[in-house]
Amino acid sequence: MFIKVCGLKNFDHIDWAVDLGYTAMGIVLHRQSPRYCSTETALKMSDYARGKIATVAVALRYKDVKEIAADFDFIQIYEEVAHKNLIFAGDSPPAKISYRYFLYDRSMGSGDETGFPDWLSDIRESLIIAGGLNPSNVSGIINTYHPFGVDVSSGVEIDRGIKDYHLMKRFIEEVKNASQ
């Protein structure tokens, strides 16, 4: 199962993600996010993570990741754009665009779990579920929707934008138990 932890802001968090067995890590380039990293920091973190864990540049629009997209394994944005490693994010059934994965996130990074629609079952082979996931609810989501992957951010934080090793560990343990 694809397991992404999003909103990492330092090298220690990358090391935690790698050591715990996460598949991918996201670096947020949206300036209004409490998890925001500058382009310079994002590039340093991507370089540090190269070969250890898949990297994802996360933003709302392509213009925010365009200059550094080649330095990441994936880009995750909320708009349709032609890109070979696009994680297209949204809360509506994806149009007939070319994307690698579809990340369902009604919360747009706020962490609010507002329920999941039935149509997600139709795209489970490319589906990554996000939005309000945490160690307490992720196994139920996996058992109900059987997605390709899951994405967590605020659900493994002790304070807004501050990751917690123990929550990251509990989350991935729950995911692995549910996907066996």
| Tens digit of each residue's pLDDT (9 = 90 or more) over 55-91 | 999 999 999 999 999 999 999 999 888 888 999 998 8
| Tens digit of each residue's pLDDT (9 = 90 or more) over 77-129 | 998 888 889 999 988 877 777 788 999 986 655 455 556 788 888 888 999 99
Of 13-17, 39-43, 88-92, 94-98, the least confident:
94-98
SS (H, E, C) the chain: CEEEEECCCCHHHHHHHHHHCCCEEEEECCCCCCCECCHHHHHHHHHHHCCCCEEEEECCCHHHCHHHHHHCCEEEECCCCCCCCEEEEECCCCCCCCCCEEEECCCCCCCCCCCCCHHHHHHCCCEEECCCCCCCCHHHHHHHHCCCEEEECHHHEEECCEECHHHHHHHHHHHHHHCC
Question: Among 85, 89, 88, 136, which Cα is nearest to 110's?
Answer: 89
Whole-number pLDDT of residue 111: 52
| Tens digit of each residue's pLDDT (9 = 90 or more) over 25-37 | 999 999 888 999 9
What is the maximum span of the chain, computed from C-alpha positions, in angstroms? 40
Whole-number pLDDT of residue 113: 57
Domain 2-178: homologous superfamily in CATH: Aldolase class I (3.20.20.70)
- Mean of pLDDT over the chain: 91
Identify the band that residue 141 occupies on the pLDDT scale cut at 50, 70 and 90: very high
The dihedral through the CA atoms of 62, 98, 78, 53 has a sign that is: negative
Phi, psi of 81 (to 5 degrees): -155, 150
Residues of the chain above pLDDT 70, percent: 94
Q: What is the mean pLDDT of residues 131-158?
A: 94
In the chain, where the domains are located: 2-178
Identify the band that residue 8 occupies on the pLDDT scale cut at 50, 70 and 90: very high
